[in-house]
Structure 1
């Protein structure tokens, strides 16, 4: 937070620096620091995912028989998580998200989240996961 609350700006007017000022609202979307801060925070989340995989609590999915297991993919500020569609798997995701949220102050917007299931997933498992994660 020190990085985002201690910044000051100066506007160049006709080739001359204007007076310095500090933003009153803190860090905002579009700030050049946004991407870096997102990646820095995301590293904490990824550490929790890697730990769960190392402890074999999270399995991920394999794209091929000999390929590595993939538990997540990141693109800009979006995440895709892969896991077993079960109450245990959903509880683990919820636990990881809860721990990450407590540490970072960031929360998943479940209203903007979507779950996709493998066609072999039973309706009971689908409904249990959807209800547990409130997606």
Structure 2
């Protein structure tokens, strides 16, 4: 987090550099470190989902009877979640996402 929160920027304005400033809204999407941070965060979400599956709180789907279970798929910056459709299971999904959102602030 130190690398992300301690950064400063300056810009070239009419051929001259401005004073340094601290960004207020985090990193930009095209920041070189952005893809790495995304992968690290999604890896943690994957662990939260796998923990829910292991605890039998989240029931993944099977494409075939003998095929592998699928609970989630991640592509670039997209996330697909798969699970058994039950109203009682929505709290498990919501709980996993809430835990994921709250994790970065914990030390």
Give TM-score scaled by structure 1 length.
0.63
Larger relative CO (CA 8 A, sep 6+): 1 or 2? 2
Match of 1:103 in 2: 103
For the 8 Å contact 1:58–1:89, the answer to whether it is kept is yes
Runs of at least 5 residues in structure 1 that lack an aligned partner in the other structure: 12-18, 106-135
Q: Once the 2 structures are TM-superposed, how far is the Cα of residue 6 of structure 1 from its aligned partner?
A: 3.3
Correspondence list, 1:27-46, <5 A: 27-46=27-46
Runs of at least 5 residues in structure 2 that lack an aligned partner in the other structure: 12-16
Give TM-score scaled by structure 2 length.
0.77
In angstroms, what is the RMSD of aligned CA positions?
2.3
The size of the alignment, in residue pairs, is: 98
Q: Once the 2 structures are TM-superposed, how far is the Cα of residue 10 of structure 1 from its aligned partner?
A: 8.7
Match of 2:69 in 1: 69
Q: Kindly provide the CA deviation profile for residues 28-58 of structure 1, in whole angstroms up to 9, marking residues without a partner as x.
A: 1110111100111111111110001111111
1:98–1:9 Cα change, 3 Å: closer
